[in-house]
Amino acid sequence: MKALFIGGTGTISTAISKKLIQEGHELYLINRGNRNDILPSGAKYITVDINNEEEVAKKIADMSFDVVADFIAFVPSQLERDYRLFKGKTKQFIFISSASAYQKPCSDYLITESTPLENPYWEYSRNKIACEEYLIKMYREENFPITIVRPSHTYDERSVPLGVHGDLGSYQVVKRIKEGKPVIIHGDGTSLWTITHNSDFAKGFVGLMGNIHALGQAVHITSDESVTWNQIYQTIAQNLGVELKPVYISSDYLDKNSNYDFKGSLIGDKSNSVVFDNSKIKRLVPDFVCTKRADQGIKETLDYVLSHKECQIEDPEFDKWCDEIIKRFQ
């Protein structure tokens, strides 16, 4: 299989890129070349800014692909560009949308691909919905061979999955837990959440590539496991060998008392209980199964982060805000 990824070195796409290379597929990456060193040898690079449409068109003029996947498209105009670039050049175009696009709050606890797409709280999600609508139009009217993939909270070894954190990532929260400081958990910590390790996500994604039954379809890829936020934070504390000191604060209060986008990331996403029905991805990819349990994945990620200094990105501004908001709330 000959594939082209726009991006290819992010949290989700890195695992997919590695799996394709290991399986001997021909993989091309269009990116700026900033993080290509994290991939094993075997990928071929087209170093160009994807937003420079004219330059990209020149570089791929004599090329065609079995699959093109865009991991870094967030608004419809970027997909309009992709359509112009790749119509007639690929047998399948995969767009990475988001499970946050599903109805918030949900009218049913079990989320399927038929769950309405509606998120009045998060512009990011609304843009993803608009992207999907554009691609479906191109599929119906122009026979553009699309597949839409909706990840939920997918993580890798470089960042511990958490709910309330600053703009620089989750390490500062891990540091607070390790130092015995109080830590903010949104709500009462009992809502259900699904975290999926990128190595598991890659199994489902690669199974959709070149899959004739995936054309024209939208499908989410997540773990079947649901855990509470209390379980996630307790797992971190236990692996650090310390007592967790949670402070429970409502998402609404956090949103109204910060400059962080908690309306989107919490009210529009993480404060809602989510349980995914994965029967569709299993029907399309019969051998798909997630094998990385949440507690196992969190432990592996913690071990990696704590042994790699480059992953320990401190966020003193967020740390100060936590202290202030906890004091004010209490």
Q: What is the mean pLDDT of residues 140-146?
A: 98
* pTM, rounded to two decimals: 0.95
pLDDT tens figures, 207-262: 999 999 999 999 999 999 999 999 999 999 999 999 999 999 999 999 999 999 99
pLDDT tens figures, 76-93: 999 999 999 999 999 999
**Chain centroid to CA 222: how far?**
10
Q: How confident is the model at residue 42 (pLDDT cuts 50, 70, 90)?
A: confident
CB atoms within 10 A of CB 301: 24
Classify residue 110 as exposed, middle or buried by CB count within 10 Å of its CB (0-12, 13-18, 19+).
exposed
pLDDT tens figures, 285-305: 999 999 999 999 999 999 999
pLDDT tens figures, 149-171: 999 999 999 999 999 999 999 99
Nearest to 169 by CA among 75, 271, 260: 260
Round to whole Å and give the CA distance between 305 and 36: 20
Predicted confidence at residue 36, as pLDDT, reads 64
Residue bearing the bigger pLDDT, 108 or 248 = 248
E strands within the chain? Answer: 2-6, 26-31, 44-47, 67-70, 93-96, 110-111, 146-151, 153-155, 183-186, 192-193, 195-197, 217-221, 227-228, 246-249, 275-276
Q: How confident is the model at residue 31 (pLDDT cuts 50, 70, 90)?
A: confident
Predicted confidence at residue 279, as pLDDT, reads 98
Q: How confident is the model at residue 110 (pLDDT cuts 50, 70, 90)?
A: very high
Classify residue 35 as exposed, middle or buried by CB count within 10 Å of its CB (0-12, 13-18, 19+).
middle
Q: Is the pLDDT of residue 102 over 90?
A: yes
Predicted confidence at residue 34, as pLDDT, reads 67
Q: Is the pLDDT of residue 190 over 90?
A: yes
Predicted confidence at residue 3, as pLDDT, reads 98
